[in-house]
Structure 1
Amino acid sequence: MDDEHAVGTPGGPVRYEGGLPGLIARARVLADSGQRRLLGIAGSPGSGKSTVAAAVLAALGSSAVVVPMDGFHLAGAELVRLGRSGRKGAPDTFDAAGYVALLRRLREPDGETVYAPEFHRDVEESYAGSIAVPPDVPLVITEGNYLLLDEQPWSRVRGLLDEAWFLAPDEEERVTRLVERHVRFGKSPEDAREWVRRSDERNTALVEPGRARADVLVLGDPV
């Protein structure tokens, strides 16, 4: 693949309304290609990216590793210093350039294990070196909101992916999942709804145009 020029299929993404088996079959083709491949799963907050990634990983076993974009959240102290802590999750609250650099290393591991950070929602911080990607793992699955965002430095991500999926579930279900997630991690229902309205849905408006740059538009909830 030309490193940073792929922008999805020329005629737009393939629309997919089937269940998880079809997605697993697509991922398995990538894993069986004989080369390191990167699969990106994008979508708005609450669209089910981590759930789909985990399901594909469970099916492929040792042939895949999941490396979420969320490991590149800026630390809480840095967000405070920058005055961005009230909108954590926006594109400029991540080390996007660091994420792009990691994807490049994952494409060309040079026979070495590559280590990636992992975000822990219980403490709202990332831990460095938490996810090991051995060089013989054929498929790396990465998921996150901004994989298909068409602004620098995020726009460099698309050309590093061999295939990109965009998840488009029912909107009411997506928002309900978001509120439930925030409540599960400590917010009151009222605060959770306010955060979704003020932050998550603002980010959704940025993410949604990225569906045009995907290879596959996954409609509905496949899991």
Structure 2
Amino acid sequence: MIVGIAGAPGAGKSTVAAAIVQAARERGVAAALVPMDGFHLADASLQRLGLSDRKGAPETFDGHGYLALLRRVRVDRTTVWAPGFERDLEQPIAGAIAVDPDVRLVVTEGNYLLIDADPWREARSLLDQAWFVEVDDAVRRDRLVARHVEFGKARQDAIDWVQRVDEPNARLVAVSRSRADLLVTG
């Protein structure tokens, strides 16, 4: 079973996804967490494409690679290696997450799982369940600013980034909430 957790940047998707995986494991269910963040394009690629100032927008991810991974997880009977994301480096890490053949629950989370744009629109069809996490916008923005500061941005630069990059992404994601099976609020 593949459960997708979608929502705007800073909504709490990672926290919800990690809690689901932990709860499953505590009940003896083999589970894996595969975040979409592992499919961020590397900074070198973003620079080459002129997208460094939009990191986190849909076009700054390898969406086709993400979809290919979901398809593999569904059919492969060998270990599937998924990329992770290292926040300290702000870079994807290839082969960081093992989805072993005994895994019965894969939880994936990311902003764009439910948006109706190529290549992302196919993601919904690869999920058995799709949940949308929603939180008060002021709380979400405060979380984002704090996260950006924690990982190296000056406070004003973090505020500017949230307004220039994260908020347009949040508006894009918000219209996709109707494609979810469940709304999680917090």
Could you tell me the TM-score, scaled by structure 1's length?
0.81
Counterpart of 1:97? 64
How far the C-alpha of 1:143 sits from its partner, in A, is 0.1
Question: What amino acid is aligned across from residue 7 of structure 2 in structure 1?
Answer: G
Question: What amino acid is aligned across from residue 177 of structure 1 in structure 2?
Answer: R
| Offset from partner CA, 1:84-119 (integer Å, 9 cap, x none) | 00110010000000000000001112x201000001
Question: What amino acid is aligned across from residue 145 of structure 1 in structure 2?
Answer: N
Please say if 1:78 is aligned against 2:33: no
Please say if 1:148 is aligned against 2:100: no
Counterpart of 1:25? none
State the distance in 2 between where 1:99 and 1:73 align: 10
From 8, 15, 24, give the equivalent of 1:60.
24
Please say if 1:163 is aligned against 2:129: yes
State the distance in 2 between where 1:198 and 1:176 align: 15
Question: What amino acid is aligned across from residue 106 of structure 1 in structure 2?
Answer: V
Counterpart of 1:130? 96
Question: What amino acid is aligned across from residue 178 of structure 1 in structure 2?
Answer: L
How far the C-alpha of 1:63 sits from its partner, in A, is 2.1
Question: What amino acid is aligned across from residue 148 of structure 1 in structure 2?
Answer: L
Structure with greater Cα Rg: 1
From 108, 117, 136, give the equivalent of 2:75.
108
State the distance in 2 between where 1:199 and 1:107 align: 33
From 86, 90, 108, give the equivalent of 1:120.
86
Any residues of structure 2 matched to 1:11-90 within 5 Å, and which? 37-61=1-25, 63-90=30-57
Could you tell me the TM-score, scaled by structure 2's length?
0.96
| Offset from partner CA, 1:22-70 (integer Å, 9 cap, x none) | xxxxxxxxxxxxxxx1000000000000011111122111521000001
Q: Percent identity?
A: 60
Q: Which runs of structure 1 show a deviation greater than 2 angstroms over 4 or more consecutive aligned residues?
A: none
Counterpart of 1:26? none
Q: Which runs of 5+ in 2 are unaligned?
A: none
State the distance in 2 between where 1:171 and 1:218 align: 14
| Offset from partner CA, 1:96-149 (integer Å, 9 cap, x none) | 00000000001112x201000001111111111110001111000000000001
